[in-house]
Structure 1
Amino acid sequence: MIKCTLRFTTLVLLLFTVLGNAQEKKKFSSISNILQRIEPDDKVDSWVLVYNSYGKGEEIKVSGGKINYTPQFSGFNMFPSEDSFYYIVYSSGGKINYILDTEALKVFVGKIDNVQEAAIILAADGYMVDEEFKDLAGNYHEDQKNYYLDLGKLTSKECPYQKTHYTLTVSKATGLVSNVKDNGTYIELYNKKCANNPRLLKVEKKEEPKTDEPKKTPKRR
């Protein structure tokens, strides 16, 4: 009886450990490291991931043989940035090709092989790993069937500028998104040009001017 109880207790603890590990959230590493986890589905002889910052290109990853290519002056971003971008050069059947936007990147990735590729695919729909707020919009967990990604999205470029964070469920088998949960806005920024800026409204709000009192006529003596 004691042996059965011990075995049952051990199984329960093991089950809770497995479930706990499955639900444990992990933060995504840098965008650069995420992109390096790409495993192209198409027949690619070799490919190079290039990071361009302030006009200077750096090869982040080289897979396969060396490629002679022309440096590019535009590319894609998985996180909004005006000073830098990425692009991919790959060789297939003796032809050189360039990946310069997230839609082409999505095709290059093909079937989702890992959670990093899931984040890359979702970038084509505007979602991002927010490197500044990974606790809210840059982490994930997984179980046997799905990836669960907490990602950000720029939901307004107008007044106020804002980001919203979502939890997206992605099937490991099909790569399809089965559920999108809106977790609300986590950044809301106003500027002086915003007509609805609360601070600006407080500054502009003035006391109504007092009406002039009617002039009193002098009394005759």
Structure 2
Amino acid sequence: MMKTAIRSATLIFLLLGFLGYAQKKKNFSGIPNILQQIIPNDRVDSWVLVHNSYGKNQEIKISGGKTDYVPQFSGFDLFPEEDSFYYIAYAAGGKINYVTDLEGLRKFVGKADNAEEAAIILTADGYMVDEEFKDVAGNYYEDAAHYYLDLGKLTSKECPYQKTHFTLTVNKATGAVSNAKDNGTYIELYNKKCPNNPRLLKIQKKEEPKDEPKKPAKRK
């Protein structure tokens, strides 16, 4: 009886440890590394991922041999307001094709084969891996059936510039998002031109001319 109880307790602790390990969050390791995890679902003979920064092209990943392609002058970005962009050139059926926008990237990825691909697919809906705030908007964990991604979203381009973080539950089998939990705003930024900038309002208040006390009239 005692041995059975000990075995049961050991099994429970092992199970709890496994579940705890399975739900341990992992930070995404940067946009280039995320894009290198792409596994195209359609038949592709070869493909190359190119990063263009200030007009210079750098091949980040080459898969399936050499791909003869023409350098592109526009592309996609997984993080807003970047000075650079990415594009993909791929050979299929004897023809060279290009991926230069987020919708095309989503089609190229197809069904999510890993957490990185799940994050890439969601960028077409406005979500992003925020490399500056990975603890709240750039991490994930998974279990046997789902990916759970903590991602950011630009929810206001007006003043104040605002980002909100979400936890998205993605079904591994279907790729469907079954839940998008709004965790609230994690950053608000005011620029100098914002009419509702609290700092600007304080400065304006300080600069308002004060009524000077009237000097007594001189007696003749």
Tell me the TM-score normalized by structure 2: 0.94
Partners of 1:209 and 1:113 lie apart in 2 by 66
Q: Counterpart in 2 of 1:191?
A: 191
Q: Counterpart in 1 of 2:10?
A: 10
Matched, 1:175 2:179: no
CA shift for structure 1 position 210: 3.1
Q: Counterpart in 2 of 1:29?
A: 29
Q: Counterpart in 1 of 2:132?
A: 132
Q: Higher Cα Rg: structure 1 or 2?
A: 1
Percent identity of equivalent pairs: 70
Q: Counterpart in 2 of 1:64?
A: 64
Matches within 5 A, 1:33-182: 33-182=33-182
Amino acid at match of 2:129: V
SS at structure 1 position matched to 2:44: coil
Tell me the TM-score normalized by structure 1: 0.93
Partners of 1:138 and 1:174 lie apart in 2 by 22
Amino acid at match of 1:11: L
Partners of 1:144 and 1:174 lie apart in 2 by 13
* Runs of 4 or more above 2 Å deviation: 206-219
CA shift for structure 1 position 65: 2.1
RMSD: 1.8
SS at structure 1 position matched to 2:111: coil
Amino acid at match of 1:9: A
Larger displacement relative to structure 2 (198-207 or 172-181): 198-207
Amino acid at match of 1:117: E
SS at structure 2 position matched to 1:144: coil
SS at structure 1 position matched to 2:73: coil
Unpaired runs of 5+ residues, structure 2, are none
CA displacement 1:182-219 (0-9 Å, x = unmatched)? 11111111111000000110111156743876987969
CA shift for structure 1 position 82: 3.4
SS at structure 2 position matched to 1:135: helix
Q: Counterpart in 2 of 1:210?
A: 211
